[in-house]
Amino acid sequence: MEAQAIARYVRISPRKANRVMALIRGKSIEEARAILKFTPGRAPKLVEKVLNSAVANAVNNFELVEDDLYVAKAYADKGPVLKRYKVGSLGRVNPRKRYTSHLYIILQEKE
């Protein structure tokens, strides 16, 4: 049995999010939470919210025990890119890209 949670249109680049997702992939829930708690940056807080949501989905919707779960898959896909512009020198425009991502976490029971 597996449960999942998805956070869409999160304002962080997929590259930064995937770096954190790789740390928790294959780990138990307790271990993943401990890793996220002590990892610096903004991405671990966003990933932890998705992890907690996936655990809540597993417990409430599928009646699974939290201690028997592990992170089977964790990855971030590219979302839409927000294009912003900043004033440059001599009246020019400098484009800025603001990346978004979709965060996926899939939990499974230990066999």
What is the number of structural domains in the chain? 1
pLDDT tens figures, 52-67: 999 999 999 999 999 9
Cα separation, 66 vs 68, whole angstroms? 5
Question: Within 13 Å and on the Cβ side, how many CA atoms surround 74?
Answer: 27
Q: Where are the alpha helices (DSSP H) in the chain?
A: 14-24, 29-37, 43-62
Q: In terms of residue numbers, what domain contains 79?
A: 2-109
Question: What is the separation, in whole angstroms, between the first and last Cα of the chain?
Answer: 10
The pTM score is 0.92
Q: Which of 86, 85, 82 is nearest to 99 (CA)?
A: 82
pLDDT tens, residue by residue, 32-43: 999 999 999 999
